[in-house]
Amino acid sequence: MFTVEEFLMIRDLHHQGLNISQISRETGYHRNTVRKYLAAQTVPIPASRRTRPSKLDPYKAYIQQRIRDYPLSAARIYREIQEMGFNGKYTIVKDYIREIRPPTRVPAVFRYETEPGVQAQVDWGECGHLDVDGRRRKLYCFSMILGYSRMRYAVFTLSTDTSTLIQCHLNAFEYFGGYTEEILYDNIKTVVLKRALRAGDHQWNPKFEDFFSHHGFIPRLCKPYCPQTKGKIENTIGYVKRDFLLGGTFSSLDDMNRQLLQWCNRVNAEPHGTTHEIPVERLQQENLKPLIGIPPYRLRQEEHRKISREAYISYLGNRYSVPYRFAGREAILEIQRDQMTVRVGTEIICSHTIVPGHARIIREKEHFSGLLAEVMRCNAQSETASRPLFRMVGPEVEHRPLSVYEGFSGEVQL
């Protein structure tokens, strides 16, 4: 669009004696453009263009509503409207969301980079609450990311204790196919009991020390008040919340983790925003320590439960039977991968394979063998020994001598 200054410049050059071709060479405008502006008395106003319909128009109301409800990413919105039938490009979705989303200010940080196979980072994140076994439980997300390839692994848990932390490590190692020389952590009690000035003087959590000594990796602690050293994993926790958890729909904890694993597979197969390379392809360069040749680490996780009067214990929303004679007793569940052993005192009373899902009942017939006969015997004994609540008695009759009744007859004895 021409400005007033450009319009006046063309007319001034013409008044100086330059012809249209000379003005065109001098200003760089086409001869037709010069001719049009010389013939005009005022700066021409371009006609307004009609707005072309966009493929995004049918989805704008949905996008606006989703952005109002949750601060979802453009990539997340793009996937959702693709499932609704949108066949346009990601760019127009991103540009539109940039227009309607309020701008946010992001502070600058310094990023620490690592060489292949050197370091991974681990963190926990709180992700709301979940109702399990009739109780409101905190939901946590464990996440591990490989520093070089940016391969991610995440899983939801109901605890952050040391046993759970170790099991999450084992799951991540299996997912990656190995582990790095060192792993970076926050200063949490499940990892370190007391931090010292020198790394060699740290007092490690004994259970966790046994684990990292078994595998031979080196635990590193994040510098206090310096979260930038764990920036990669902090971003991963936030990414899980924004791109996966936010606005999601799930039926159980198992369903959440099944969908989360699919999400990990997808993001690991897409170019990373920092490296602009695909993590699963860079994984080939990580040179991880292999799991082959290392004896399996035997981890036992303990949970305390009270056996119900119906002879069941509850775990992760499902009910498992135990021998009926232990009804009402306190029990300890020993969890090892998908196997559960139930112990009362020092006696192991039964074992189960942990099943996925929610509100399922796992009943072993032999756990109730003899229960019916015992109930009937108890009922019979109860009837024999029972006492009535009350008793009926007849009216009390007074006994008198016959002489009393003879007196009433009026007869006189001589």
Question: Whole-structure pTM over 0.75, yes or no?
Answer: no
Q: How far is CA 119 from the centre of its chain?
A: 24
- The per-residue pLDDT for range 182-210, each reduced to its tens digit, is 999 988 999 999 988 777 788 999 889 99
299 with 167: CB under 8 angstroms? Answer: yes
Range in 71-75, 222-226, 315-319 the model is least confident about: 222-226
What is the mean pLDDT of the segment spanning 115-134? 88
- In this prediction, residue 153 carries a pLDDT of 96
DSSP string, 60-119: HHHHHHHHHH----HHHHHHHHHHTT--S-HHHHHHHHHHHSPP------PPP---TTTE
Q: What average pLDDT does the chain have?
A: 84
End-to-end CA distance of the chain: 159
Which helix H or strand E contains 38, and what residues bound it? helix 31-39
User: pLDDT at residue 16 above 90?
Assistant: no
pLDDT of residue 414: 45
Average pLDDT for 347-376 = 88
- Could you give the CA distance from residue 205 to residue 192 in angstroms, rounded to a whole number? 5
3-class DSSP state of 214: helix
For the residues 69-98, what does the mean pLDDT come to? Answer: 91
Instruction: Answer yes or no: is pLDDT of 279 > 90.
Output: yes
Phi, psi dihedral angles at 298 (to 5 degrees): -85, 110
- Residue-wise pLDDT for 291-350, tens only, equals 988 888 887 778 889 999 999 999 888 999 999 999 999 999 988 778 899 999 889 999
More confident residue, 7 or 334: 334
CB 308 within 8 A of CB 327: yes
Quote the distance between the C-alpha of residue 156 and its chain's center.
Answer: 4
170: Cβ contacts below 8 Å, ≥ 6 apart:
297, 299
Least confident range of 2-16, 200-214, 242-256: 2-16
